[in-house]
Amino acid sequence: MANAFRSLKNTNYRWWAIGAMVSNIGTWMQRTGQDWLVIKELTDNNPSALGIVLACQFGPQLLLLPVVSYVAERYPSRQILIFTQIIMCILALLLGLLTLTGLVTLWHVYGFALALGCTTAFDATARQTFVSELVTGKDLSNAVALNATSFNLARLIGPGIAGILIAVIGSGWIFILNACSFVFMLIALFSLNKEKLIPKSKSTINVRQILDGIQYIYQNSYLKSLFIMLFLVSALGLNFTLYISTITVKVLNLDVEHYGALISTLAVGSVTGSLISAKQSIPTLHYICFGALLFSISLLLGSFAFNYWYFSIMLILCGISVQIFMTTTNAMVQLKVPSEFRGRVMAFYLAVSMGSTVIGAPIIGFIAEHFSGPWAMRTGALAVLCCSVIGIYNLLKKNHLNA
């Protein structure tokens, strides 16, 4: 068991892990508070407005891909992270003050979500590369695994805390607390021993190289299918904020504590799915198809939620299945791509997996508003079913060629 936490023996990584854990919890608290502020306090349960917020927050991951790639290659990750933590701290603080003073409007939230999304685009990429500057090669995979565990644990803890605190002290203080969490991250970054940081190799990346990476994906039919599947799941399937908020408020008539608890329930499934995926030594298309099909069925069954406990169980299944799909797809893409293209392809992978929300969230929000939350969830189930059909087709095609 101690070997599973071996990276924490590294002082620099230990500082990073503590700061990241506190920051991640604060981030998930803010996400929960922001969603509740939009759906319950600033609108009359308007899912379309929440869809726009999500698009503003996650769209920059896709739109800023060339700029983010250039900055990540050009500047030290620690400097980028210090800058992004300061910006995100200021944004959370300002949104908190506007909310506490009663001056906040929906347009303010749109603006702050867009600013946060732009900053997060740089922050997320820097975080991914910074781990390799903290630990040596033999501990790198362990450090990456601990990072993923930290993120999922924060996703488990943050929303539940936020749900309780919103009911007690209001949404505004949630944003203030998140601003404080970035201070912990800044302390960790400034406490690192810079002499022990492992310098990353610097290279120049340009738009032509990024386009070459996209062209490589397009010319490889297997990879192209994986990215189409990833897009369908990310754009239309991974809209849990909309699903959970609309069903919690409009179908089950529950309060904010239950909303936070349901998001944490989803995280229970995600942690379980991560552990299941970790047991697979070699990623396979069979496993990807299984994850997609189970995710589609879970979304469909979840759309018929009739009480809190039934919906919770379906969300656990959703968390397990989507984690199986996402983790295995990520590993499969890396396995299929040669090292000279891997960085660019994975940057595009990150952009698609997070940035496709700019397309899917407004669509799902529109369906939730004009039809219902359950029908929005069924739309996601249909999209993921199409994803599984594509995967099964490629699987049968591969078996036929090998016959």
Q: Which domains does the chain have, with CATH numbers?
A: 1-204 (1.20.1250.20), 206-403 (1.20.1250.20)
Report the greatest alpha carbon distance in the chain: 69
**Local structure of residue 282 (DSSP, 8 states):** S
**Residue 285, helix vs strand vs coil:** helix
> What's the CA gap between 56 and 7, in Å, rounded?
35
Q: Which amino acid is at 13?
A: Y
> What's the CA gap between 226 and 356, in Å, rounded?
15
**Residue 103, helix vs strand vs coil:** coil
Extract the residue ranges of the chain whose pLDDT is less than 70.
1-5, 137-142, 144-145, 199-210, 278-281, 334, 339-344, 399-403
Query: Could you tell me how far CA 300 lies from the centroid of its own chain?
Result: 22
Here the tokens at position 139 are 């501990």
Here the tokens at position 142 are 């362990």
> What's the CA gap between 250 and 311, in Å, rounded?
14
| pTM exceeds 0.75 for this model | yes
Strands, E assignment, 240-387:
none
> Which residue has tokens 């303010």?
108
Other Cβ atoms closer than 10 A to 17: 21
Give the burial class of 313: count Cβ atoms within 10 A of its Cβ; 0-12 exposed, 13-18 middle, 19 or more buried: middle
**Local structure of residue 193 (DSSP, 8 states):** -
Q: Which amino acid is at 120?
A: T
Handedness of CA 153, 157, 162, 163 (dihedral sign): positive
| 292 closest CA partner among 255, 338, 323, 336 | 323
Alpha helices in 37-136 (DSSP H): 47-58, 60-63, 65-74, 77-100, 106-134
Here the tokens at position 130 are 């910074």
> What's the CA gap between 117 and 373, in Å, rounded?
25
Q: Are the beta carbons of 104 and 95 closer than 8 angstroms?
A: yes
Q: Which amino acid is at 147?
A: N
Q: Are the beta carbons of 295 and 322 closer than 8 angstroms?
A: yes
- Residue 41 is predicted with a pLDDT of 87
- Residue 374 is predicted with a pLDDT of 94
Alpha-carbon torsion angle 49, 50, 52, 57, nearest 10: 150
- Residue 403 is predicted with a pLDDT of 47
Here the tokens at position 222 are 């297997």
Which residues, 6 or more positions from 88, have their beta carbon under 8 angstroms from its beta carbon? 116, 119, 120, 123, 182
Here the tokens at position 89 are 């701290």
What is the distance in angstroms between the CA of the first residue and the CA of the last residue of the chain? 44
